């Protein structure tokens, strides 16, 4: 791989954005400087050195666990189930670690709510000193980007309102991303209900390394918004999609995508952003389907056309809460 190619891969600019994340996450390291945690597959054949089991007659002169008399440091994930979302919070970055949702043809068919009655709120489930608050986003230049989209929860006003918790938000680039390609991607997820009776989606932020052109080293760099700065701006976002066949113990079609938090041209194929689920796991430190055996796993993008349908933002805003789902083919008009 040439130096230029690596630089392009590492960038998260509009032009490079598309293949960027996928390339970083997939590629086997060609250079030692690639971040092993993300780039290299987990070693399966390397012998693991084992420490000898302590002899029974050793009485330790110390007790590291004594720390817990003063409290357990964490991390604490602030798990928060609501009607429409279940989220875990990352107190360090003041972003969610992941937010899960469930959509079905029936849930999307009900329109009992209006976005104009919803407003963004702090999540008091998160302790105040770790919370994101509205002032952090104010004049930051970033959208309060829903992880679980509002349009997926219009089946009740309460369900819709709960998607406006800041524990469901990350700072997202507005033009070209949150209001455009990312919105088309969310629409793709909704359209999956034309093909599957039940869809689960986990969405969250990533902070991926890119190559420093100065010294060639891979570094993680991200903005922190708020005054004082509190809320980290993710470099990328992932969605892991579980398309269920509706049978108990049935097959599940999996798809994982990583998109840069940057403007993306509408003509970029969605499949450019598809990554193996393991790549999202390595990059996020999370595990999504540990209990799903291999024989029940299918590949989403082998069953449906993984493509976005681009619709004009203004038109989409107008129709967002009122459109009837389930009528369009997944492959588009």
Ligand X SMILES: *[C@@H]1O[C@H](CO)[C@@H](O)[C@H](O)[C@H]1NC(C)=O
- For the annotated catalytic residues, the residue numbers are 146
Instruction: Provide the 10 A C-beta neighbour count for residue 129.
Output: 8
Q: Which residues bind ligand X (CB under 6 A)?
A: 129, 131, 133, 135, 226, 228, 230, 245, 247, 250-251
Tokens linked to 229:
């700065």
Sequence-distant (≥ 6) Cβ neighbours of residue 99 within 8 angstroms: 85, 86, 87, 88, 147, 148, 167, 168, 202, 203, 204
- Smaller CB separation from ligand X, 39 or 166: 166
Q: Taking the complex as a whole, how short is the minimal distance between the CB of residue 132 and ligand X, in angstroms? A: 7
Residue 163, classified by CB atoms within 10 Å of its CB into exposed (0-12), middle (13-18) or buried (19+), is buried
Burial of residue 309 (number of CB atoms within 10 Å: 0-12, 13-18, 19+) = middle
What CA–CA distance (Å, rounded) separates 157 from 109? 14
Is the CB of 32 or the CB of 291 nearer to ligand X? 291
Peptide bond into 75 cis (omega under 30): yes
**Bridge partners (DSSP) listed for residue 145:** 170
Q: How far is the CB of 91 from ligand X (least distance, A)?
A: 9
Closest CA to 320 of 141, 160, 82: 160
In the bound complex, what is the minimum distance in angstroms from residue 74's beta carbon to ligand X?
A: 16
Least CB distance to ligand X at residue 119 (A): 13
Task: Output the smallest distance, CB 3 to ligand X, in A.
Answer: 38
What is the rounded CA–CA span in Å between residue 180 and residue 174?
8
Q: What angle do CA 28, 34, 38 make, to 5 degrees?
A: 70
DSSP label of 312: -
The values of phi and psi at residue 186, to 5°, are -60, -40
CB closer to ligand X out of 26 and 120: 120
Considering the complex, state which of residue 64 and residue 228 has its C-beta at the smaller distance from ligand X: 228
**Of 183, 159, 179, 162, residue with least CA distance to 111:** 159
- What is the token pair recorded at 1? 């791989």
Which residues, 6+ apart, have CB-to-CB distance to 115 below 8 Å?
Answer: 150, 154, 160, 320, 321
Whose Cβ is closer to ligand X: residue 151's or residue 231's? 231
User: By C-beta, is 66 or 228 nearer to ligand X?
Assistant: 228
User: Least separation, in Å, of the C-beta of 131 and ligand X?
Assistant: 5
């Amino acid at each position: 791989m040439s130096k230029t190619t690596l630089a392009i891969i590492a960038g998260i600019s509009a032009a490079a954005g598309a293949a960027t994340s996928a390339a970083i996450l997939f590629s086997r390291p060609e250079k030692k400087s690639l971040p092993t945690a993300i780039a290299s597959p987990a070693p399966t054949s390397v012998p693991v050195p084992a420490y000898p089991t302590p002899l029974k007659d050793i009485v330790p002169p110390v007790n590291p666990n004594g720390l817990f008399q003063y409290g357990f440091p964490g991390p604490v994930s602030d798990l928060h189930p609501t009607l429409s979302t279940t989220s875990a919070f990352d107190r360090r970055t003041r972003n969610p670690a992941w937010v899960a949702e469930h959509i079905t043809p029936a849930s999307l068919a009900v329109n009992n709510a209006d976005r104009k009655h919803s407003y963004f709120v702090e999540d008091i489930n998160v302790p105040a000193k770790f919370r994101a608050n509205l002032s952090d986003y104010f004049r930051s230049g970033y959208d309060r980007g829903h992880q679980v989209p509002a349009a997926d929860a219009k089946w009740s006003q309460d369900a819709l309102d709960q998607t406006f918790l800041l524990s469901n938000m990350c700072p997202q680039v507005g033009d070209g991303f949150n209001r455009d390609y990312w919105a088309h991607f969310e629409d793709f997820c909704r359209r999956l209900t034309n093909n599957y009776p039940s869809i689960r989606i986990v969405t969250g932020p990533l902070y991926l390394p890119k190559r420093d052109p100065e010294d060639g080293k891979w570094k993680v760099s991200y903005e922190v918004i708020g005054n004082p700065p509190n809320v980290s701006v993710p470099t990328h976002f992932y969605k892991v999609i579980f398309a269920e066949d509706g049978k108990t113990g049935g097959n599940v079609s999996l798809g994982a995508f990583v998109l840069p938090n940057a403007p993306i041209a509408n003509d970029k194929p969605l499949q450019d952003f598809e990554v193996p689920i393991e790549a999202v796991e390595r990059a996020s430190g999370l595990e999504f389907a540990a209990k799903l055996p291999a024989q029940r796993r299918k590949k989403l993008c082998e069953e449906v056309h993984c493509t976005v349908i681009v619709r004009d933002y203004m038109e989409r805003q107008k129709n967002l809460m009122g459109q009837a789902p389930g009528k369009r083919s997944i492959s588009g008009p």
